[in-house]
């Protein structure tokens, strides 16, 4: 669990990120979750976009992915959301 100060810091880092995944009509499946898990291990902080044809809102998708992977939802605004998970091998982001 991250604190509000840590969340604020992560939001500031995420402002310059572009979405690397899109949740669409296929929803959130096992292969998608594996790719998100691998991306979080490599980058620690990622942004994901939800397409108009998806059955999920950005908050629902964020909560679902966080529940399945064990990451932290940093922010969900509009059609985009940001996820964070500390890397086990190569931690780049230092939270205070």
Q: What is the pLDDT of residue 36?
A: 97
Q: DSSP labels for the chain?
A: ---HHHHHHHHHHHTTPPP-EEE-TT-S-HHHHHHHHHHHHHHSEEEEEE-TT-SS-HHHHHHHHHHHH--EEEEEETTEEEEE---SS-------
Go through the domains of the chain in sequence order and give each one's CATH number.
4-84 (3.30.110.60)
Confidence of residue 1 (pLDDT cuts 50, 70, 90): confident
State percent of the chain over pLDDT 90.
88
Q: Average pLDDT of 1-16? A: 94
* pLDDT for position 90: 84
């Amino acid at each position: 669990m991250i604190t509000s100060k840590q969340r604020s810091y992560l939001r500031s880092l995420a402002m310059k990120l572009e979405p690397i995944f899109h949740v669409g009509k296929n929803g959130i499946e096992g292969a998608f979750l594996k790719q998100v898990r691998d991306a979080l291990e490599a980058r620690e902080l990622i942004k994901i976009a939800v397409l108009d044809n998806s059955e999920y809102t950005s908050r629902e998708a964020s909560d679902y992915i966080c529940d399945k992977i064990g990451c932290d939802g940093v922010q969900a605004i509009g059609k985009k959301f940001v996820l964070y998970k500390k890397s086990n091998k190569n931690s780049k982001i230092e939270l205070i």
